Structure 1
Amino acid sequence: MSLVSQRAVRVDGSAHSVSPLALGAAGVLFVLYPAMRGFGPEEGLQGAEAFATWTWAAAHMCAMAGFVLVAVALRFLEGWGGGVELTGWLAVSFLLPYYGAEAFALTAAGEWARDNHDYGVLAIADGFRYGVAPMTTFAIGWILLAAVGVVVIVRATRASSGWTTATRCAAAVSGVGLVVFLPMFFVPGSLRIVHGMVLGFALIAWGTGVFVANRAADT
């Protein structure tokens, strides 16, 4: 085998490992997101302390990184084309500003309210949570993410790249988890934690299956 061929094999093998790693990491992060977030009162002293805690910002950063990693995984899934990847990146682009405000602006507001005993400042959350511009971009992001989920479900049923039935099922469950991400905002926190666990473990199982299929194809 020539040096060029050997290098091509190494590069191809490295690319094959990106999707499994990204899916697995995203799965872990989506499990952590609702588990760390907390779902207690968001007003008064309790609300200030909830926003000010490090777990509030960390939880939302887990979600942001998870969305990015899903898009990265789509980039390197063999034969999936650029359409679903582009949709994934567009979804990330519309979702991250809102999540960033939740992670960083609310943390700062919570710290200020806690330290100065001025809990009225927490009302600022409604400004960027329910304003026309943030709600519009947020809604667009969720619609795009749901579209990605639908594509994942369809592709999972048609996958012909050596995926096992278990891998297809894990991919399909992951797709469903992405589709129902938005409705989870309207259910109790305990159900959001369950959703995070189901989506997370499905992504991990999907990534593991893709890794095994890629290894088999490379041998």
Structure 2
Amino acid sequence: MSTPLARLGAPTLALAGALFILYPAVRPWHDESTVDGAIASMSSGAWVASHLFAMIGFILVPLALLALRGALAGTRSERLALTAAITTWIGAGLTLPYYGAEDFGLHEIASSPDASKIDLLAMVDAVRLNPVAATTFMIGLLALGAGAIMAGMAVWRSGVLARYSAIPFAVGFALFIPQFWAPAAVRIAHGVLVGAGCAWLAWEIRKAALRKS
């Protein structure tokens, strides 16, 4: 892979990290088990913006992992890094439709003038717990976690990048599913973990690109 693409991958991954920090930091945190809380959160512009940040981040990460594969070209980890990029690409594709429904669909429902009169919480559950949607969402996040772990293994084995540099990245994506059941403070901390993991790995990819230039 060319050095210019590797150089592009580093800022792409760093940008993804910033977006994953903004996602829980900007997201409104009201008690969504109540009608008033659900309306306050889901009808706000911050709800749309925060989930959009996450969606863009999911798109950018697989692109950046192609640069990781380039950084590890010629090592025994090159194939594993490519597998990581492909796996996260599939994971992002399966995850994004659910995020779109969560973002735009729930926002429109909660913004309806009749939102307080309808069985809003039942409608929210119907969107979130649709069997096909929930299953593809979980498979997508599992694939993203698996891809991030493979990226961490590729870095560990390569001897090209700092051995520990992809561990926070891998741990952050591996924890994406359980963090949904955590309180707001933990979810914000998780966003910082993912962001820091992306930034560290981006820095190592950037250094590898400069060494090859």
If the length of structure 1 is used for normalisation, what is the TM-score? 0.86
| Per-residue deviation, residues 30-57 of structure 1 (Å, max 9, x unmatched) | 1001111133212322311210111101
Is the contact made by 1:19 and 1:73 (CA closer than 8 Å) also made in structure 2?
yes
CA-based RMSD: 1.8
Inter-partner Cα distance in structure 2 for 1:16 and 1:87: 19
Which protein has the larger Cα radius of gyration, Structure 1 or Structure 2? 1
The percentage of aligned residue pairs carrying the same residue is 30
The offset of 1:158, in angstroms, is: 1.2
Partner of 2:181: 186
Structure having the higher helix fraction is 1
- Of the three residues 197, 200, 206, the one matched with 1:205 is 200
Is the contact made by 2:3 and 2:212 (CA closer than 8 Å) also made in structure 1?
no
Inter-partner Cα distance in structure 2 for 1:91 and 1:101: 17
Partner of 1:91: 91
Is the contact made by 2:144 and 2:173 (CA closer than 8 Å) also made in structure 1?
yes
Partner of 1:136: 135
What letter matches 2:3 in structure 1?
G
What letter matches 1:13 in structure 2?
T
The offset of 1:67, in angstroms, is: 1.0
Inter-partner Cα distance in structure 1 for 2:88 and 2:127: 23
Is the contact made by 1:91 and 1:144 (CA closer than 8 Å) also made in structure 2?
yes
Inter-partner Cα distance in structure 1 for 2:207 and 2:2: 15
What letter matches 2:180 in structure 1?
F
Relative distance call for 1:194 and 1:84 in structure 2 (3 A) is same
Partner of 2:47: 56
| Per-residue deviation, residues 76-135 of structure 1 (Å, max 9, x unmatched) | 22133332222111101110010000110011011105x664252342111121121111
Inter-partner Cα distance in structure 2 for 1:100 and 1:31: 19
Inter-partner Cα distance in structure 2 for 1:49 and 1:148: 35
* Unaligned runs of at least 5 residues, structure 2: none
| Per-residue deviation, residues 144-202 of structure 1 (Å, max 9, x unmatched) | 112112202211211233x2x3xx32311101111111110121111010011011012
* Unaligned runs of at least 5 residues, structure 1: 1-10
Tell me the number of residue pairs that the alignment of Structure 1 and Structure 2 aligns: 203
If the length of structure 2 is used for normalisation, what is the TM-score? 0.88
